[in-house]
Structure 1
């Protein structure tokens, strides 16, 4: 049985990916800050699901989550580094704490997560799906701090790939998605340019079904209703 790790799995894109991988027959290790939501998701999914509190902004939390995952399953085949957050506004109005939190979660959190599982991924010739954003290679006015962390995360993933050719790194770059992101709530119409989390999860399923000798280095997907900006 293949084992997949999903961070930020309590809702939104992470929850949708966890559900999709459970349908694909993966055993799951899911982590997020909301243990109650994780517990509910694990109960709904059934099967081999391990859940544990995870705050990727804290090195000790990532280390504990990784250790307990390996203790439970003995290996890891896929790591979906999905945890992320965003604060928006003009750069000069962005608070120091907000900017620092985005760096801790979006950049350092991804680095910590990948690093914690890298040795095991090398043993299984595994896969990392790094969820960044369509703004990891373009600019976004009033989102400069968030965008900066996603550009940096993109550089991080590419460098991990160069240094670890025996592991496949997929950068998944979704555009606007109908989630709780940025303080909003789900329920936004597709006609406003939003993908559904389940559509992003379908892309992950596609990537993981590819032969092991195929490496998709990045995949950007956006709603047909979102303006094509590059």
Structure 2
């Protein structure tokens, strides 16, 4: 491990982000961790004071993000690995969720990550190295989850811009990776991390059943171990040739193949018409 690397992790006061920060500090890395609440961050991480820089950051404010990036570099001299982990879940059918609810999810999950990328890239280009790791979801690869259309859309967006990013920054010695976790046993499905529609429509039985399952049956029983998940993320960051797509969990692995088989079936079943459109 190259523990000289400086990590910058967003959404670090809970969930997978908090587990990652604690593991990095334990392994001897220097870590900048951001959260909406610096009090929550300081309460959650109490070790390795000399190696740890907690920062309050508003993802939706470019000025706030810029200040956090500049403070990180002035403290540790550089940033090597950026983990865009901050985000929240949103349950609700497309008809149920208001424009405001949908846009807020995009503002945090998509445009918040883009604000970080926009502000950190000049520094990474200057040093001709770096690795941007964007934490998506298996729901960013397959959208077959009733009641999670907007959330999946935010994560599909992250997958798309990260693929483009990887091609744009390759010439500068910078890597980009998409992490797509399945279900990990964090607080992601608790009330503080999973928003529900303000005006539910009871006619959507599948949506209500899915929401209930995620809040009650699945929450607390997720098969993924966060400690093992973050160890894989660190291993990917240390790899000479890191993956563009990194799926985490047996469930994510299986669901990814299910999606690919569905796409393949549609391609082959409709091949004759699909390929008949040329001049």
TM-score (norm 1): 0.90
**Matched position secondary structure for 1:179:** coil
Distance, in Å, in 2 between the alignment partners of 1:17 and 1:32 is 14
Cα distance per residue 1:53-106 (max 9 Å; x no partner): 012122222111111111111211110110011211111001222211111111
Contact 2:183 2:251 in 1 (8 A): no
Cα distance per residue 1:142-198 (max 9 Å; x no partner): 100001111111111111111110211111000122222243489987994431322
The number of equivalent residue pairs is 228
Contact 2:135 2:179 in 1 (8 A): yes
Cα distance per residue 1:111-167 (max 9 Å; x no partner): 111121112223151111110001111112210000111111111111111111021
Match of residue 208 from structure 1? 237
Distance, in Å, in 1 between the alignment partners of 2:79 and 2:252 is 37
Match of residue 199 from structure 1? 228
Do residues 158 (structure 1) and 187 (structure 2) align? no
Contact 1:76 1:124 in 2 (8 A): no
Unaligned runs of 5+ in 2: 194-215, 260-279
Match of residue 248 from structure 2? 221
TM-score (norm 2): 0.75
**Quick one: which of 56, 60, 65 aligns to 1:57?**
60
**Cα 1:161–1:18 shift into 2, 3 Å:** same
**Cα 1:162–1:56 shift into 2, 3 Å:** same
Contact 1:66 1:117 in 2 (8 A): yes
Unaligned runs of 5+ in 1: none
**Matched position secondary structure for 2:90:** coil
Larger radius of gyration: 2
Do residues 131 (structure 1) and 158 (structure 2) align? no
Contact 1:85 1:182 in 2 (8 A): no
Distance, in Å, in 2 between the alignment partners of 1:171 and 1:226 is 14
Question: Over aligned residue pairs, what C-alpha RMSD do you find?
Answer: 2.5
**Quick one: which of 54, 61, 76 aligns to 1:73?**
76
